[in-house]
A and B are shown apart, each in its own frame.
Chain A
Amino acid sequence: MHERLSFFVKRDSALHPLNPLTKIVLALGIILVSIFSPWYWTSHVLLLVVIVPLVFIGKVATEYFTSALRLILPAAGFIFFMQAFFQPIGQTVIFNFWFLDITQESLLFAFRIATRITVMISAFTLFLLTTHPSELMSDLTRRGLPPQFAYVIISTLQILPQMQAKAQTIIAAQRSRGLDTESTFFKRIGSVVPLVSPLVFGSLVEVEERAIAIEARGFTSKKAKTSLYEISDRSSDKFIRWGLVIFVIISIVLKLWLS
Chain B
Amino acid sequence: MAFINLNNVTYKYPLTKTPALQNINLQVNEGEFVAIVGPNGAGKSTLCYTLAGFVPHFFKGEISGTVEVAGIDSSKSTLDKWVLNVGLAFQNPFNQISGAKYTVFEEIAFGLENTGVPRDEMKPRVEEAMKLTDISNLADRSPYSLSGGQQQRVALTSILVMRPKLLVLDEPTSQMDPIGTREVFGVIRKMAEGGMTVVMVEHKMEWIANFADRVVALKDGQVLMEGKPNEVLTSELLVENGFGVSRYTSTAREAKKQGLWKKEKLPVTLDEAVEGFKK
Q: Which A residues are within 8 Å of any B CB, using their own CB?
A: 2, 5-6, 132-134, 137-138, 147, 150-151, 154-155, 158-159, 161-162, 206, 209-228, 230
Contact = CB atoms under 8 A, between A and B. Distances in A.
A217 B99 contact: no
23 contacts: A2-B144, A5-B102, A162-B144, A209-B96, A210-B98, A212-B88, A213-B95, A213-B97, A214-B98, A215-B58, A216-B83, A216-B159, A217-B83, A217-B98, A217-B111, A218-B80, A220-B80, A223-B114, A226-B116, A226-B117, A227-B119, A228-B122, A228-B123
A159 B99 contact: yes
Given A218-B80, A221-B114, A210 B119 contact: no
B26 interface: no
Contacts of B101: 134
Most B Cβ at <10 Å: residue of A6, A155, A219:
A219
A143 to B, nearest CB: 16
A12 B117 CA distance: 30
B65 to A, nearest CB: 22
Contact of B112 (A147, A150, A209, A226): A226
Contact of A212 (B54, B80, B106): B54
B142 A228 contact: no
A215 B109 CA distance: 14
B106 to A, nearest CB: 6
Interface residues of B, number: 44
Contacts of B88: 212, 216
A226 B95 contact: no
Most B Cβ at <10 Å: residue of A147, A155, A210, A228:
A228
B95 A217 contact: no
B116 A221 contact: yes
Contacts, number: 115
Contacts of A150: 100
Given A137-B100, A138-B113, 11 more contacts: A134-B102, A158-B99, A158-B144, A162-B94, A210-B95, A214-B98, A215-B79, A217-B110, A217-B158, A223-B115, A228-B119
B191 interface: no
Nearest to A217: B111
Given A2-B144, A162-B144, A210-B99, A218 B115 contact: yes
Contacts of A6: 102
A135 to B, nearest CB: 10
Contacts of A147: 114
Given A217-B162, A218-B84, A228-B119, A132 B144 contact: no
A213 B80 contact: no
B116 A209 contact: no
